[in-house]
């Protein structure tokens, strides 16, 4: 009974029906004939099945070969109206169908349930980036070949491709060295060549790089630097190796010593990034070092070119002041060369000898005298040295053979050729000499001769003998005030006039042969011109005018002079 109902339901396109009770099922069975008679209207009945029917249904899509409900796949796939007969021939007349019974009043459909609130639609997802359109290669643009200057297998056979990527066809390979286009390859066997690896051949080591190319020269391999000869073999041995004109230091394993100092046989050497031993100047970490021609690091004094340098015990070039061997030297910052002569540091002047050591005390430079303190600083102004006063000009040179008016003390001072201040020379003497020059001698090339003649014109008068102390200034004043005097007064006055004219001159006391005594006490003047010492004797010129007593030498003077 149940299978029949299912068959009817399937013929109507209904896969399952929910029944209220058994009586309903039996009523449906009684009406099965009328349903069969109405099978021609099946399509209409199917159209009347609403998707809103609360009865659960499974509908077969007639456009598909398989039903949506797999439980009745074969049954639902057959059209019950148009199913062909299994036999071929003239069909029998169909039976006359009986009149259909009164159909059962269908149940009142239940009210549809309240529709649920539709879910809030989610934001649309970001559309996927479309694939870049494929482009057809431009035949005018050359394409990069897949293989260049290398061996590659094609269809199981080795082929060689040259630099342009052109294949040379299949080649037969035997293990060992193979050369193509000046490049060597090492085949381990017929199926593989060495690439990016070391190989040992006949006791020598070789490195085969990318594409199996044998390397040569100075190379970095696996973070270390090696030197490979032109034939590709690694430099053998350890310690020093000279290749061409360059020295290298080989470590155990063949790697070069690079970017570091190496202490070898009690000397330091430096090797650069290529493993080359360095010579000459090198700068590391902002410090300068000097390596001699053998590569050894230098220390102490080093003459490079025309300049001297001082390298500390650690090899670093010294800069600035340095106390070396008990003496101070100044090494120019940055360049490091030893300075000589004058240098100015922090507005102070220092004088360095030709050997570079700092000078102190009295020093003569360019025919001028300078006074340098114990710390080497050049002095200026007034300075008392060993009980005598000296005055150093603003440029440091010592005043000598000149008058100087001091604004602070408001008086004149005279400094002799030695630079010593003459304590007897004062403003009175200065003004007296200036008056004589302005009124009597004037200045110029002949002024000294006019001064000599002026003093010779003074009358002679006997006076004290054997003067002591700084007698020249004292006797010059006496001669001028008294208008006469002896040989010492003549000498004193002429000497100071000469000094007033800018000459270096000194009074001298000694003796000359006398008429009544062998050694007569006498005074005269020495004038120093262009390195020569000349004698001027105004007293004897006054007493014996027929002889040359002006600017003569000791050798050609009319008489013999001997100083005390």
How much is the average pLDDT of 217-239?
A: 91
Instruction: Grade residue 236 by pLDDT with cuts at 50, 70 and 90.
Output: confident
C-beta pairs of 11-14 under 8 Å, 24+ apart in sequence: 11/35, 11/39, 11/42, 11/80, 12/42, 12/45, 12/46, 12/49, 13/42, 13/45, 13/46, 13/49, 13/57, 13/59, 13/60, 14/49, 14/55, 14/57
Q: Is the pLDDT of residue 179 over 90?
A: yes
Three-state secondary structure readout of 26-43? HHHHHCHHHHHHCHHHHH
Q: Which of 94-98, 380-384, 504-508 has the lowest mean pLDDT?
A: 94-98
Whether the CB-CB separation of 391 and 382 falls below 8 Å is answered with yes
Instruction: Grade residue 470 by pLDDT with cuts at 50, 70 and 90.
Output: confident
The Cα 495–Cα 507 span in angstroms is 6
Q: Is the pLDDT of residue 273 over 50?
A: yes
Tell me the C-alpha to C-alpha distance, in Å, between residue 415 and each of 302, 434, 450, 457, 506.
45, 16, 24, 28, 12
Per-residue model confidence (pLDDT) at position 112: 46
Per-residue model confidence (pLDDT) at position 43: 37
Per-residue model confidence (pLDDT) at position 198: 95
How much is the average pLDDT of 50-67?
A: 35
**Residue 156 tokens, joined:** 């199981």
The Cα 246–Cα 78 span in angstroms is 99
Half-sphere exposure of 230 (CA within 13 A, CB side): 3
How much is the average pLDDT of 87-94?
A: 38
Q: What is residue 519's DSSP assignment?
A: S
pLDDT in tens, 104-121: 554 554 554 554 554 555
Per-residue model confidence (pLDDT) at position 466: 85
pLDDT in tens, 339-354: 999 999 999 999 999 9
Q: Centre a 10 Å sphere on the Cβ of residue 188 and count the other Cβ atoms it contains.
A: 14
Per-residue model confidence (pLDDT) at position 301: 98
Region label for 444, one of left (φ > 0), alpha (ψ between -120 and 50) or beta (otherwise): left
Mean pLDDT, rounded, of the chain: 82
User: Tokens 């090797």 appear where?
Assistant: 271
How much is the average pLDDT of 123-138?
A: 60
Instruction: Grade residue 215 by pLDDT with cuts at 50, 70 and 90.
Output: very high
Q: Is the pLDDT of residue 485 over 70?
A: yes
Does this model's pTM top 0.75?
A: no
pLDDT in tens, 394-411: 999 999 999 999 999 999
CATH of 147-215, one of 3.40.1710.10, 3.60.15.10, 2.10.270.10, 3.40.800.10: 2.10.270.10
Q: Pick the residue with more confidence: 93 or 283?
A: 283
How much is the average pLDDT of 456-472?
A: 91
Per-residue model confidence (pLDDT) at position 36: 42
Half-sphere exposure of 560 (CA within 13 A, CB side): 6
Per-residue model confidence (pLDDT) at position 469: 84
Per-residue model confidence (pLDDT) at position 54: 33
The Cα 543–Cα 227 span in angstroms is 101
The Cα 545–Cα 551 span in angstroms is 14
Q: What percent of the chain has pLDDT over 70?
A: 75
Per-residue model confidence (pLDDT) at position 372: 98
How much is the average pLDDT of 234-258?
A: 91
Per-residue model confidence (pLDDT) at position 322: 97
Per-residue model confidence (pLDDT) at position 73: 35
Instruction: Grade residue 362 by pLDDT with cuts at 50, 70 and 90.
Output: very high
3-state secondary structure of 320: strand
The Cα 245–Cα 217 span in angstroms is 14
Instruction: Grade residue 93 by pLDDT with cuts at 50, 70 and 90.
Output: very low
How much is the average pLDDT of 355-370?
A: 97
Per-residue model confidence (pLDDT) at position 468: 87
Q: Where are the domains of the chain?
A: 147-215, 426-563
CATH of 426-563, one of 3.10.620.30, 3.55.30.10, 3.30.70.890, 3.40.50.40: 3.10.620.30
How much is the average pLDDT of 245-258?
A: 94
Per-residue model confidence (pLDDT) at position 238: 75
How much is the average pLDDT of 380-403?
A: 96
Q: Is the pLDDT of residue 443 over 70?
A: yes
């Amino acid at each position: 009974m149940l299978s029949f109902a299912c068959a009817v339901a399937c013929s109507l396109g209904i896969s399952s029906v929910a029944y209220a009770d058994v009586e309903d099922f039996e009523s449906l069975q009684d009406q099965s004939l009328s349903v069969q008679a109405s099978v021609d209207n099946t399509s209409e009945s199917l159209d009347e099945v609403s998707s809103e029917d609360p009865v659960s249904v499974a509908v077969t899509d007639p456009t598909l070969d398989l039903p949506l409900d797999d439980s009745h796949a074969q049954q639902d796939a057959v059209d019950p109206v148009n199913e062909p007969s299994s036999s071929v021939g003239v069909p029998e007349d169909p039976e006359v169908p009986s009149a259909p019974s009164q159909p059962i009043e269908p149940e009142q459909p239940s009210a549809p349930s309240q529709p649920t609130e539709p879910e809030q639609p989610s934001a649309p997802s970001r559309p996927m980036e479309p694939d870049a359109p494929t482009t057809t290669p431009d035949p005018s643009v050359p394409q990069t070949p897949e293989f260049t200057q290398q061996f590659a297998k094609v269809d199981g056979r080795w082929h060689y491709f040259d630099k342009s990527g052109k294949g040379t066809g299949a080649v037969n390979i035997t293990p060992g060295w193979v050369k193509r286009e000046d490049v060597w390859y090492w085949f381990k066997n017929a199926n593989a060549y060495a690439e990016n690896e070391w190989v040992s051949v006949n006791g020598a080591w070789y490195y085969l790089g990318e594409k199996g190319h044998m390397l040569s020269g100075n190379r970095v391999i696996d973070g270390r630097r090696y030197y490979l000869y032109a034939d590709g073999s690694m430099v053998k041995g350890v310690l020093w190796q000279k290749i061409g004109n360059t020295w290298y230091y080989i470590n155990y394993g063949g790697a070069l010593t690079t970017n570091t100092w190496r202490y070898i046989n009690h000397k330091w050497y430096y090797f650069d990034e290529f493993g080359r031993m360095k010579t000459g100047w090198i700068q590391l970490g902002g410090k300068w070092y000097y390596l001699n021609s053998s590569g050894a690091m230098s220390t102490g004094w080093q003459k490079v070119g025309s300049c001297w340098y001082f390298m500390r015990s650690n090899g670093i070039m010294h800069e600035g002041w340095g106390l070396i061997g008990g003496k101070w030297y100044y090494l120019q910052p940055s360049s490091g060369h030893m300075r000589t002569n004058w240098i100015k540091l922090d507005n102070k002047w220092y004088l360095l000898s030709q050997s570079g050591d700092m000078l102190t005390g009295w020093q003569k430079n360019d025919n001028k005298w300078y006074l340098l303190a114990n710390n080497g600083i050049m002095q200026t102004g007034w300075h008392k040295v060993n009980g005598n006063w000296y005055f150093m000009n603003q440029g440091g040179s010592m005043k000598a053979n000149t008058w100087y008016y001091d604004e602070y003390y408001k008086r004149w001072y005279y400094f002799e050729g030695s630079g010593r201040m003459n304590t007897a020379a004062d403003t009175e003497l200065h003004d007296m000499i200036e008056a004589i020059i302005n009124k009597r001698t004037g200045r110029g090339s002949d002024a000294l001769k006019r001064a000599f003649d002026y003093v010779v014109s003074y009358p002679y008068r006997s006076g004290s003998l054997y003067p002591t102390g700084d007698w020249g200034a004292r006797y010059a004043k006496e001669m001028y005030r008294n208008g006469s005097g002896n040989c010492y007064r003549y000498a004193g006055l002429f000497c100071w006039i000469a000094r007033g004219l800018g000459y270096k001159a000194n009074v001298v006391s000694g003796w000359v042969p006398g008429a009544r005594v062998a050694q007569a006490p006498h005074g005269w003047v020495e004038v120093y011109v262009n390195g020569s010492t000349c004698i001027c004797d105004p007293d004897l010129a006054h007493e014996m005018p027929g002889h040359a007593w002006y600017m003569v030498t000791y050798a050609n003077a009319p008489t013999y002079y001997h100083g005390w």
